[in-house]
Structure formats: structure tokens, C-alpha cells
Amino acid sequence: MTRLDVEKTIEELTLGEKVALTAGVDFWHTAAVDRLNIPALRMSDGPNGVRGTRFFNGIPAACFPCATALGATWNTDLLHEVGQLMGEESIAKGSHIILGPTINIQRSPLGGRGFESFAEDGVLSGTLAGHFCKGVQEKGVAATLKHFVCNDQEHERMAVSSIVTMRALREIYLLPFQLAMRICPTACVMTAYNKVNDTHVSENKEILTDILRKEWKWDGLVMSDWFGTYSTSDAIAAGLDLEMPGKTRWRGSALAHAVSSNKVPEFVLDDRVRNILNLINWVEPLGIPGNALEKALNRPQDQALLRRAAAESVVLMKNEDSLLPLNREKSTLVIGPNAKIAAYCGGGSASLDPYYTVSPFEGVTAKSKGDVHFSQGVYSHKELPLLGPLLKTEDGQTGFRFRVYNEPPSEANRTLVDELHLIRSSGFLMDYVNPKIKSLTFYVDMEGYFTPEESGVYDFGVTVVGTGRLLIDGEVVVDNTKNQRQGSTFFGSATVEERGSKHLEAGKTYKVILEFGSAPTSDLDTRGIVIFGPGGFRFGANRQVSQEDLIASAVTHASQADQVVIFAGLTSEWETEGYDREHMDLPPGSNEMISRVLDANPNTIVVIQSGTPVTMPWAHKTKALLHAWFGGNECGNGIADVLYGDVNPSAKLPVSFPVRLQDNPSYLNFRSERGRVLYGEDIYVGYRYYDKINLPPLFPFGHGLSYTTFSRSSLSLTTTPESLTLSDGEPITASLTVKNTGSLPGAEIVQLWIVPPRTSVNRPLRELKGFTKVFLAPGEEKQVEVVVEKKLATSWWDEQRAKWASEKGVYEVLVTGTGGEELRSSFEVEKTRFWVGL
């Protein structure tokens, strides 16, 4: 890549070339103009890892803890380190742009992509995102803040209009973007799928031009979410620089015609092109060649950082009678559906093939010096566990053969056009291509051999974007080819899992074939559904077993065990892009199993994994409870490090956990109804609502315990004189002494809240405005400072003036942390003033 003279290049570009630059050419690349030395740019999904250019059968990558887990660390230094490694992973994948972080607000526990976002609070989310992006961009890689804005649900996400007051839009939903931009102006922003107040964001000039560019003075590139462009002229005029992915739907000849007919002035098109060329110059120092090979890093130092991040994200919710840390000399019984699987990430565009995974059972086994035993308790799969890893190929390799044909199985003498060896029996073919495939309609035979270890009736399941039949020794066991029903897998584009059963004998080998037809062979009504590429497949199996037998066995073993740890929760099946959860409950059977085991052994440790809040009807019975999120590659080791006390937990909840779904402020206004969703709770999202109506959640935002104790004292405030312009933000410095009063090293998170005076509008009782994390040895004390800006700490959005209002009055400062007394002080705003900008 060579640096471009942007203005000279724009003059030399033909209209057709300009138009081509404003749209992708495939799923992950922009257009190149070779005659002017304009290279293509490569981008990759990046909420919790850099997948590269292949969603299907890709190069493995580092999987980081999900964003909610990173949000729970409240650690800006850690987020900076994570961002740096993410940048290095991007370079290894030959990618100039990371499509992340996601910083939408966790408005409801049901949001399918909630695990991709940091928090329910804009200050926490925006601050962490800013430091993450700073780490990414220090490596020369472009970060992308998304999804701008109000993309807070999956239901009808491309069609729904988020009806939201301008005050809530500013104070809640735009705030994390605004704060992140103050710390690190990102090179890119991605528009949300949805409408805001009846206009799609990708063609919303007020949001993209008036706020983002003019008010915030941001000059990067705006791209659409994938297939999130809905017009030609309106999107160009609003400020959407790049339509993704390719091939274009809305630009091409349509945009050239719009320019030729003066519907889009050419100077406006030039503005879009200028932002693309400026981004090319921005990433030029990376020196990534065209069609760069994708590589794996997986270095020891990377593994150590991922493990540290996983451990630091684990929240100690309860620890009565100091049951934790565990005694590594004692034998341990491990129970539960999440024990022997690694719930390392959520589903959808955040998913990737990890370098490796560590399950909680493996983590505990590696730590314990005593015997470690296992009892299943219950299963929690939504669809049957993948069969692929249990299959063998003809030559004895783990997995199965993936053979591609242009003709269906019914035709004789088919010609093989591609053959792969796969292990994972789930594949989304959105970016699968082969030059020998003649059209989007093609067929795949997936063949492997299964030798069950136990005799019994086995259930088999098939889920497809397309059609599929599963045959065992030539017998059709599952037929998912006609009368198909809409499901939630693969971004909401797949069928439900169709199942069939067959009795199998232990030790006998059976030939398993999945006959798959690509997406056009399906009879589903796909109106309103985005079909990404030629389709997808998933097939699984499990031996039938009574849930009561599993629970009873776990209860019996628990009643006799020295130490018991339950691992339960959700997985990428339950939390995934394209589909919102229907309720907050754990998978069927989990709550009953946990409750009955606790009855049998009240000292049982419970570890829950999920990216968003779940109900815990047994919480009152627990003495020790951890929340562990989706922890990335090192998930199991990170949890075990906390369980055994090698890491003292310091995480705090970035979201409120309500007792029940009905308590959540969005309960009456979640999901699309006739094309719109009303943000009826207004600014009272998360803790702001629970505080305002005095409704204690099960576990509040900011909650988290430690194996040690802390004290906070000697709070003092230093303020600067009020200026007339507020240009310097008028920093307020809160100084206090934090001491580790316990016997173990640990970290305290100091949280600074502002309690506003009575003003001309209703306001939350308190709002988080600053935080910092401090590590202390036993007995050590440190002077800690939290700096906030007076204008940001005191302002609300005045819709009549269309400005932020910092009203005069006395504002109380409240400082909290892990247990202990709250510290209070106050400062005064002497004069009401109004402002706009970052």
C-alpha cells in the first residue's frame, strides 16, 4: 500500500470507480482501483475475537471473554491490553478493520446480543470501550464502534423503529458512543439495523451528520451493518459512506444513475469517497498486502492475558461462611450441564473457532490435588449436542467428510467439486465459495462413522438453512426437507431442529450421512429474513436419558461429597444474534437440579454462566455463588483460578439482575409491535429504575464481593473555578484513602456517583459518573483519585433547547465500593449553563 493524495485521487476517479468504492465487493473486502493504486480493505468481526474472512471452516483465533465479562472487570488498563492483543490478532488475519466493539445499552435481559455489550450504563460502557479502542488503534488497526444507535433487540431488527425521546437517546443510548469518542476517536462507526423514530439509522441525517460529524467533530468512516442499507440516495445524503457487504444492492448502477440525474450531487458522493480514501491512508502503515494469508498467533503471553481477563471477570455474588476458596486437598464433585463444555462465547457474528478451549471441569481438575468426580445433573442443550466430534472418517480421523456436488443425490454419476475434512457438525456457509459450483443451488453429502459407547435409543437432530436428511446405514432417521418450520439458529434464518430416533448398540459402527441442499432448496417463507449466503447446516445426537434419573444421581452423589461445585447456565444456543430470549430462566431442568442439590448439600458452590441476567429462584439457598459469563478460550481456567483462590475476585456486575423478568423496566415495551418498539422507560434504564421506585433487584449493578475486605476514608473534593465556556470541562477530583483491611491481596473498585439536587426535570436518584480500580496488598493503603468533569457529571439533555443543561444547585458526591460505608461530599454549580459537543 502507498499513501494516497486524496484530493488528486478523487479528481482522477471516474464516476463508476467512485461508485464502486462506496460498496463492498464481498463479505469482508472493499473495492480496489488498481490503476490508481487504491487497495482493497479487509475487515473482520470482532466483538470478542478476530475471526478473519471465513465464517465457515476458518483459521482459529483468540476468543476473548464476552463484552459483559470485560465490563464486569471495570478495569480500563485491562481493556487497553485486550484491545492491543485484538489489534495484533487482526494483523495476523490480514484485517485492517475490526468490526467492534459493540456498545449498545443492555436495555433488557432478553436481548439476544446483550452479551456483546459492556453494560447497562453509558459511563461504564463508553469508558471501557474508549480504552479498548485506544489499544486496538495503537496497533494501527481501525476500530468500529457499533451499532449506532438503539440496536437493543433482535426481534424484527431490520424493520423495527425504536421510538425514543431525544432526552433518553442522548443521556442513555448515545452516551457510550460520545464518551468512547472522547477517549479514542475511532476510525469507523457502524450503523444500526433499526430505525430511530421512524427513520433507518443508515439514512438518518440528524444522527449521522448533525450529531456524529458536525456536533462531535468526528471525521471517520461510516459503514452499514451487513445488509443494513435500505436506499440509494437517502443513505448517501445522510452520510453512509460504505454499504456492506458486497455485492452491492443499492449502489452500483443505481447510484451512478442517481448522480447522473442530479438526485445525488457528485460533491456529496465525493464526500463519501473521501472518507474511504482517508481510511485507506489511516491503515496504510500496517503494510498488509492484498489477499493476505490468515495466520494464527496463540502465543504464551496471549494465553496468559486471556486467562487473566477470564478470572478478573468472575463476580463473587455470595460467599457466606467463607466457603470459598475451595480446599484443593479435598476431593470435589463437579455437577452440571456447563461443566464439561466450554461456554466460551455467544452466538452469531461474535462466534469464532477458538485456538482451544478449557472447560470448567478441566480447569478444576488441573487445580485440585484431590480426586475430581463428575455427575451430569441435567443437560441444557437447546438443540442436540454436535455429532461431528464423535464421528470418524473412513481412515479413522475424528470428524467427517464434506463432499460438494452441483447435482442432487437423486442424480447418478454426480461430479465431486470439493471435499473437506470437518470436525464441527455445524457450519454457516455465508462465505463459502468454490469456483466449480455453478449456482447458489448445490448439494453436500457429509459422511462419517459413529460407534456408540452405550446401547440405547439415540435422538438425532437436523437444523438447516436449506434442506437436510440424516441417514443411518441408509435409513432416513430425520427428514428436514419439506413442511419446514422457522427457527432461531443462524441469525434467525434456519429451520427448527427436526428430530428422529433410532436404537443403537454399543460398540457397533454405523454409517451416518447428512444429505444437505443449499438455501434455495428450502420451502421456508423467508420474507423479512436475511439469508446470509448459500445456507447452513447443523446435526447432533444424544442418547435418551431420564432427567429425573440424572437429577437423582447428582443429588445422591452431592449428599456424600466433601466439596460440590455446580456449573450451569446458558450457551451460544440460548444467547445469539438474530433471536431474543423468550424468558430469563435457565434451560429446562437446571433450576430444579440446583435447588435439589442445595437441599442435599447446602455448602454446594454454584457457578452460573451467561452473558445477560438469569432468574435464580434458588438464590436464597446458596451460600456461595459466582457469575462467570462467557469466558473465552481460558474460561475454565479463569473460573478455577477464582474457585481455588489463586485469583481474588474483584469483578462487579455491569448489569442489574432483577428477581424476575417483570421487574425489568423494559418489560412492557420489549419486542417489535407493528413495526415499532416504545422505549417507555425513558431514561430509567437498569439501576436508575430500581433506585427510583425503590425496588431492590436480586443483585444490583456494581455488586461484587472479594475474599478480602476494604475500607474507604478521607474523601475530599477539589474543584476548579467555573469558566464561562465550560471548554475545559471543569474537572472535579475526588481523593480518598483505600485500604486492604484483610489478609489477602485484592482489588477494590471505587465507584463515584452523583446525586442531583431538585431541578426543573425529574432525574435519577443517582448516576455513575466515574470509577477506578486499585490493587492492594494485605494492610496496604493508597491514595486514590477519581476525576470527573463537572459539565458531564451534572448535565441532562434539554429537549426544548436541544442542548445539555448543567443546572445550578448543590450536587452530592457518593463514593461506594466493596461493602463498607458510603462516603459523601458535595460541590456547587453556581450558574445554569447550556452546551453541546463531545
Burial 606-618 (b: 16+ CB within 10 A, else e): bbbbbbbbbbbeb
Q: How far is it, in rounded angstroms, from Cα 102 to Cα 89?
A: 18
Q: How far is it, in rounded angstroms, from Cα 586 to Cα 617?
A: 10
Give SS3 for 21.
helix
Longest dimension (CA), the chain: 86
Question: Which of 768, 643, 120 lies closest to 332, judged by CA?
Answer: 643
> 74 and 749 in contact (C-beta within 8 Å)?
yes
- Strands 746-755 and 809-816 turn out to be antiparallel
Q: How far is it, in rounded angstroms, from Cα 67 to Cα 474?
A: 45
Backbone phi, then psi, for 355, in 5-degree steps?
A: -55, -40
Q: How far is it, in rounded angstroms, from Cα 219 to Cα 341?
A: 44
DSSP-derived secondary structure for 793-824: HHEEEETTTTEEEE--EEEEEEEE-SSSPPEE
The catalytic residue among 45, 121, 152, 225 is 225
Question: Residue 789, Cα to own-chain centre: how many angstroms?
Answer: 29
DSSP-derived secondary structure for 264-295: S-HHHHHHHHHHHHHHHHHHGGG-PPTTPPP-
- Strands 443-450 and 391-392 turn out to be antiparallel
DSSP-derived secondary structure for 610-628: -SS----TTGGG-SEEEE-
Question: Which of 661, 580, 571, 583 lies closest to 609, judged by CA?
Answer: 571
Q: Is the dihedral of CA 473, 478, 480, 482 positive or negative?
A: positive
Angular region, 632: left φ>0, alpha ψ -120 to 50, beta rest? left
CA distances from 220 to 66, 92, 143, 664 (A): 26, 24, 10, 36
How many alpha carbons lie under 13 Å from residue 52 in its C-beta half-sphere?
23
Cα angle, residue 143 at apex, residues 768 and 305 outer, rounded to 5°: 75
**Nine-digit cell string for 592:** 430444579
Q: How far is it, in rounded angstroms, from Cα 686 to Cα 156?
A: 23
How many alpha carbons lie under 13 Å from residue 579 in its C-beta half-sphere?
22
**Nine-digit cell string for 408:** 442432487
Paired strand residues for 605: 565, 624
Question: Residue 180, Cα to own-chain centre: how many angstroms?
Answer: 17
> 95 and 43 in contact (C-beta within 8 Å)?
yes
Counted residue by residue, the chain has a size of 838
Catalytic annotation present for 225: yes
- Strands 188-191 and 142-148 turn out to be parallel
Question: Which of 573, 113, 518 lies closest to 385, judged by CA?
Answer: 573
Q: Which residues are catalytic?
A: 225
